[in-house]
Amino acid sequence: MIINLKPGEDEKTLNKLVSRLEEDGITNDRLSIIRGENSIVVGIIGDTSKLDPRRYQAILGVDNAVRISDPAKELTKLFHPENTVIELSNGHKVGKELTMIAGPCAVENREQLLKAARMVKEAGANVLRGGAYKPRTGPGSFEGLREEGLEYLALAREETGLPIATELMDTSLMPLFEKYDVDIYQIGARNCQNFYLLDALREVKKPAILKRGSSVPLEEFMLAALRIYNGNKQVILCERGDRSVDKVHRNVLNLNNIPIIKQKYHLPVIVDPSHGTGRRESILPMSYAGIAAGADGILVEVHPNPEEALCDGPQSINGEIKRLIEVSRTLYETTRNGCFGNGCCGRHKS
Ligand code: PEP
Ligand code: MN
């Protein structure tokens, strides 16, 4: 951490700062003090992850305090060089092979879910998704079948063998999630910074998908993931876009985050092009873009009849799921081999 005093500030301010650092357990031997012509700069050496920079910035005469090392360092590759691989109940390995998670936004009825489950299974998906409890903005919208939805998800799993992923909206629902043995607990964008909910997932022995909240910066997203990771190492990150000035799309899918996450952190990351764009026609191209950027998989909304969907029809695909999975696999294989098939590795003749 680097702390800059304001120009002209003297030893009096520096002493105040040093005493506060001492209170926080930072001894003098961990400080590197540079006295410039106009201002004093203090560097803190070693682990500063438990320090709050704003506590030092609050001192009158301190200009700013910035962290240099990553506060979520347990999630960085410096700390854990191997990529985390998460094995699902069907043996699929997230982080090691392409993960395709597909299904309707909401479980609407038994027939709709079973149809969707058969479709995605046949297309080659690895996980069935479907919301039983739906976070809807306005009252009066379809909020999911609740426990009945969990029942149908369990039924679809029995028939297809696909693990099920569904959103946990509140800790009070955890006993029901256990009852239906939900395979993957999804934390939605709206709850990305619901810290009680995140902390509760430490006790869960199942993988969790954590969606990045709209407008949640990457650094805060990683800290949210760390909350779960502190007790449950099976965390899958999901990029699903930000609300922006764009009026054409529901959200702007922030694929910038993917290469950075893959370079710096060891957790697997998937991309949700349905919520990330809000538009059916954008789903295939943006999925391919996500995979090319380095994502470990895709989470996509698939409905047997998107025109009649009770929730998120405009961003749901149908028969295209087959092509999406086919092309995604080729793209994944090619890019993970460290080449884009343009002759750069000598194995793929262009
Ligand atoms: C969902 O995946 O069903 C969902 C509600 O997504 P998000 O939390 O990203 O809005
Ligand atoms: Mn949805």
| DSSP result, 278-317 | --HHHHHHHHHHHHHHT-SEEEEEB-SSGGG-SS-GGG-B
Number of Cβ within a 10 Å radius of residue 116? 27
pLDDT at 350 over 70: no
The confidence score (pLDDT) of residue 347 equals: 60
The confidence score (pLDDT) of residue 194 equals: 98
Q: pLDDT-based confidence at 26, cuts 50/70/90?
A: very high
HSE-CB of 285 using CA atoms within 13 angstroms = 6
Number of Cβ within a 10 Å radius of residue 55? 14
Tell whether ligand 1 has an atom less than 6 A from the beta carbon of residue 188. Answer: yes
The confidence score (pLDDT) of residue 49 equals: 85
pLDDT at 70 over 60: yes
As a whole number, mean pLDDT of residues 106-132 equals 98
122-136, 173-187, 218-232, 325-339: segment of lowest average pLDDT: 325-339
Protein residue closest via CA to atom 6 of ligand 1: 188
pLDDT at 36 over 60: yes
Ligand index nearest the alpha carbon of residue 274: 2
Mean pLDDT for the chain?
95
The confidence score (pLDDT) of residue 300 equals: 99
The confidence score (pLDDT) of residue 84 equals: 98
Distance 157 CA to ligand 1 centre (A): 21
Distance 106 CA to ligand 2 centre (A): 7
Say what angle helices 320-336 and 110-123 make with each other, to 10 degrees.
40
> What are the CA-CA distances from residue 293 to residues 206, 239, 259, 270, 333 (Å)?
27, 12, 6, 11, 13
Task: Pick the atom of ligand 1 nearest to 238's CA.
Answer: 9
Residues shown for the chain: 350
Q: pLDDT-based confidence at 348, cuts 50/70/90?
A: low
The confidence score (pLDDT) of residue 339 equals: 61
pLDDT at 344 over 80: no
Chain centroid offset of residue 126 CA: 18
Protein residue closest via CA to atom 5 of ligand 1: 188
The confidence score (pLDDT) of residue 336 equals: 87
pTM of the model: 0.92
pLDDT at 222 over 90: yes
Residues 6+ apart with CB under 8 A from 218: 212, 257, 260, 261
The confidence score (pLDDT) of residue 58 equals: 97
As a whole number, mean pLDDT of residues 76-96 equals 96
pLDDT at 82 over 80: yes
Tell whether ligand 1 has an atom less than 6 A from the beta carbon of residue 306. Answer: no
The confidence score (pLDDT) of residue 337 equals: 74
The confidence score (pLDDT) of residue 342 equals: 57
Determine which helix (DSSP H) or strand (DSSP E) holds 15, and give its type and residue range: helix 11-23
Distance 247 CA to ligand 1 centre (A): 19
